[in-house]
A and B are shown apart, each in its own frame.
Chain A
Amino acid sequence: MNVQLPDVAAAPPAEQSAQNARLPRSRLIRKFVLLFIALIGGALLVSGALELWFSYQENKTALARVQQEKALAAAARIDDFIDEITRQIGWTTRALRSSASLEQRRLEYLRLLSQAPAITEVSHLDATGREDLRVSRLAVDVVGSGADFAAEPKFSEPKPGKPWFSPVYFRRESEPYMTVAIAGSGRGSGVTVAEVNLKFIWDVISAIRVGESGYAYVVDSHGWLIAHPDIGLVLRRTDFSSLPQVAAALPAPTQADSDAAVVGEDAADRKSVV
C-alpha cells in the first residue's frame, strides 16, 4: 500500500522558506513514528511467537503424558486380563489335591474352560512331566497320552506360587497365544498348563482411543504385533520391531511384553501407544 505523504515539491513557491523550516521536523516525527511502530510491532511479534512455541511444547508434553497414561492403563488392563486368568487357573489347581482322581481333575478343568473363554486348552503334567490329561474346546479330550514334556520349560519353570508365562506364539499361523503353567501346591502334584488365546485382549485394546485418530496396540517382546484395532495387521503377523518407538520400548528380551509405555507415531502418521 502507498502511504500518501504531503507533496512537498508541489507547494507554492511563496511558502517555500516557511516549508523548508518545518521540513526537518516533520521528517523527524515521521522517522520517529515509524521506528516506534517497528519496535512495538517487533516486540509483539517476538513475544507472540515465543508464546506460541511454548504453548505448542506444553501441548505436546501434555499430549505425550496423556498417551503415556493411556498406554499404562492399557498395560494395566492387559495385566489384569492375564492376572485374572492366572488366578482362575490357580483356583483350579488349589481345588485339586495331588490325590485327586483324573475324573475329578477333568471336571475342574471343564469348569475352568467354561469360566475363562480365552483358555482354549488345559492339560496336566504329572510329577515326572508326562501328560496325563488334556481338555480342549476344539479337539477330543485325551486321558493318559503319556507325552513327555519333562524337558520343556512349561514343566521345569513353574514353581509353587510362581507361574510361568511362555513367550507369545502364533497358532495356525494367525492367532496369538500364550502358555500359562502353574505348579500344583502339594508335592508331586504336577503342573497345570493352559493355552490362552490372546485374541481376547483385542476387545480391551480396540476400546482404547487417544484423541481423534490415536489408538493403542500391543507388541510382544520381539516386536510382533499381538493386538491392534486393525486386527488384520495381527492376523497377517506384522513385525513392528523396526518402528523407533517400539524398538525403544523393547528392553531386554526377557521382560514381559506389556510393561512399557512409549509414545510415537506409526507409519500412517497417527499417534500410537505401545
Chain B
Amino acid sequence: MRRIISFLVVFACGLSWLAIETQAEQKTSLLGVLWPVSESPELEAFRDGLRELGYVEGQNVTIEYRFAKGNDALLPDLAADLVRQNVDVIVTWGVTAAKVAVQATKTIPVVNGSMSDPVRAKLVESLARPKGNLTGLTSSTPQLSAKRVELMKEAVPGLSRLAVLATPNPTARLGLEETRAAAGALGVAVQVEEVDDASDLEGAFERMAQSKAEGLIVLADMLFIQNRDRLVGLTAHHGLPAISWAREFVEAGGLMSYAPSFTDQFRRAAGYVDKILKGANPADLPIERASKFELAINLEAAKALGLEIPPALLARADEVIE
C-alpha cells in the first residue's frame, strides 16, 4: 500500500512539473512600443522581423503601442505608462525616445532600431558593451549630413545658398555641425531655420524664400516625418529642392532622401528583442551600426521643380520614383 501511495505521489509531481513546463513555453511576451510618430513602415518591418522569428502578435506576443505622433513632449508619459504595464521589452526609435525610455526605467530592456549617437548622448558606455538596459542599432544620420550637402549640390548646379531646417533636438544639433562644416568646404552659405513644432514651418519657409535659398536640407527630427505632407507641400509651394533624412519624405512627394534603411534596421531590431526574451542581458548586446544606405529620388518632384537630375546622381540612386 505504501508503495502504491509513494508511486502516486511521484507520478503526480511529474505531471504537475510537465504542466508547468508547457505553460512556461506558451507564455506570451508583452512588448511595449514607444513610437515617436504614428504607425509607419518601420513598425511594420519590426513586426515582419518578429514573425520571421516565430512571434505572432496575439498568440505568443502581445504588443502595447504608444504613439507620440511627432510630439516629443508626450513621450515621458507614454513611457511611464509602459513601465506601469510592466512590459518585457520596450521598443523605440530615435535618440530622444531612447533617452526618455532609459529615464523611465533602469530595469526593463530597451531596444532602439535606429538612434544617432548613443555614446555621445551618454546613453551607453560604448557600442561594443552598452552596459545599461539600452541596446539596438545606430543610424549614423548626423554623419551623413555632409553627404546630403554634396548630393544637394549635385542636384542643383551652382548651388550657393542652402537653407537648413532644424529643431533643438541633439541629433539635429549634431547634424547641423556636420552640415555647416561640409557646406563651408564646398563653398555654400548656410541659413539655419530652427523650429519647435509644426506651426513654425510656414514662417520658416517664408524666411527661406526671402533670403533666396536655392536648396533645403531637412535635419533629423521625428517632427518632419509626422508632418511630411505639410513639408512636401511647402517645398513645392516655394519651389525649393529638398533632401531629407527619411525616405517617407520622398514617398510623400519630396525630392530626395539619403539615409540608412530604417526598415532594414527595424527588421534586425526584432532579433535583439528575440535574444532578450530568451534571456540575454541588453548590457551585453553590442549596438550594431547602420550598413545599408539608400538614396531615393522622386523624378516627378524634380520635374515640377524644373530640375534635370544629372546621370551621376541617378547612377547612385537606390530608388527612383517616377
Contacts and interface: CB of A to CB of B under 8 A. Distances in A.
Contact of B128 (A107, A111, A237): A237
A138 B286 contact: no
Contact of B312 (A107, A137, A172, A197): A107
Nearest to A117: B292
A173 B292 contact: no
A111 B315 contact: yes
Nearest to B311: A107
Contacts of B144: 138
Between B127, B289, B317, B318, the greatest number of chain A beta carbons within 10 A of the residue's beta carbon is seen for B289
Contacts of B140: 138
B315 A174 contact: no
Nearest to B135: A232
A235 B286 contact: yes
Contacts of B311: 107
Contacts of B291: 175, 197, 199-200
A103 B144 CA distance: 23
A200 B292 CA distance: 9
A138 B185 CA distance: 16
Interface string B291-322: 11100000000000000000110011110000
A58 interface: no
Interface string A105-134: 011001101100100000000000000000
A174 B143 contact: no
Contact of B286 (A106, A111, A197, A236): A236
Interface residues of B, number: 28
A56 B291 CA distance: 45
A231 B286 CA distance: 8
A112 B19 CA distance: 58
Contacts of A199: 291
A71 B287 CA distance: 28
Interface string B139-155: 01001101101100000
Given A137-B293, A140-B150, A174-B289, A110 B312 contact: yes
Contacts of A140: 146-147, 149-150, 182, 185-186
Contacts of B289: 172, 174-175
Contact of A235 (B146, B288, B293, B316): B288
A141 interface: yes
Contact of A232 (B286, B293, B312): B286
B273 to A, nearest CB: 14
A237 B129 CA distance: 11
A139 interface: yes
Nearest to A233: B286
A139 B147 contact: yes
Contacts of B146: 139-140
B315 A107 contact: yes
A138 B147 CA distance: 7
B164 to A, nearest CB: 17
A137 B128 CA distance: 23
B119 to A, nearest CB: 11
A154 B286 CA distance: 31
B316 A173 contact: no
Contacts of A106: 312
B285 interface: yes
Nearest to B185: A140
A174 B318 contact: no
B165 to A, nearest CB: 21
Contacts of B182: 140
Nearest to B310: A107
Contacts of A137: 147, 293
Contacts of B292: 117
A111 B147 CA distance: 17
B284 interface: yes
Given A113-B316, A141-B150, A232-B284, 4 more contacts: A103-B312, A140-B185, A174-B286, A237-B128
What are the 4 closest A-B residue pairs judged by CB atoms, nearest first? A235-B286, A110-B315, A110-B316, A232-B286
19 contacts: A103-B312, A107-B311, A110-B312, A114-B317, A117-B292, A137-B293, A138-B144, A138-B147, A140-B149, A140-B185, A140-B186, A141-B150, A174-B127, A174-B289, A197-B291, A200-B291, A231-B286, A235-B288, A236-B128
